[in-house]
C-alpha cells in the first residue's frame, strides 16, 4: 500500500488553523476542501473528521479514504499550497467513486479559477 510521504502532510495545529482561516473553501456534499496558496512546493495536505461523524473507528476510516483520494489525484492540483479536507456526514454512506468524483470536480473548479486570473 502506498502512503503519502511525511513531508506532504500538514501536522501542526498552527498551520491547520492558518489553512482554515485564510484558505478558499469549496463545499461538496461529502467534504469541505480548503486551499491555502503558499510559495513552498509541493502541495501539502491535512485531513480532519469531527466527532459528529461517529466514534474513532469511523473517523479514522473517513480520514483514510480522503487521504487516499488525495494521494491518487494530487496531480490534478497544480501549483503550490496547503490543503485541508474536512469530512462530512454524507460521506459515511457514500461510495468511494462518488467521493472521488466530488474531489475531481473541486480540482476542475480550482483550475478554472486559476485560468481566469
Q: Are strands 44-48 and 82-87 parallel, antiparallel or unpaired?
A: parallel
DSSP 24-55: EEEE-SSEEEEEE--SSSS-EEEEE--GGG-S
Bridge-partner residues for 46, per DSSP? Answer: 84
What global pTM score does this model have?
Answer: 0.93
For the record, the C-alpha cell of 95 comes out as 461510495
The full set of domain ranges for the chain reads: 11-108
Residue 106 CA from chain centroid, whole number = 10
What is the pLDDT tens value at each position of the chain, 117 positions in all?
Answer: 678 888 889 999 999 999 999 999 999 999 999 999 888 778 999 999 999 999 999 999 999 999 999 999 999 988 789 999 999 999 999 999 999 999 999 999 999 998 886
Which residue bears the cell 490543503? 83
Of 47, 98, 39, nearest to 70 (Cα)? 47
Selecting from 3.40.630.10, 3.30.70.100, 3.40.50.2000, 3.30.230.10, what CATH number does the domain 11-108 have?
Answer: 3.30.230.10
Amino acid at each position: 500500500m502506498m502512503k503519502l510521504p511525511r513531508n506532504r502532510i500538514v501536522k501542526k495545529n498552527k498551520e491547520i488553523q492558518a489553512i482554515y482561516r485564510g484558505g478558499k473553501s469549496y463545499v461538496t456534499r461529502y467534504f469541505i476542501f480548503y486551499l491555502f496558496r503558499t510559495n513552498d512546493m509541493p502541495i501539502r495536505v491535512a485531513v480532519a473528521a469531527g466527532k459528529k461523524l461517529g466514534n474513532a473507528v469511523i473517523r479514522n476510516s473517513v480520514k483514510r479514504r480522503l487521504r487516499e483520494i488525495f494521494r491518487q489525484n494530487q496531480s490534478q492540483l497544480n501549483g503550490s499550497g496547503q490543503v485541508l479536507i474536512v469530512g462530512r456526514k454524507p460521506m459515511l454512506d457514500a461510495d468511494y467513486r462518488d467521493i472521488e468524483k466530488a474531489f475531481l470536480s473541486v480540482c476542475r473548479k480550482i483550475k478554472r479559477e486559476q485560468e481566469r486570473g
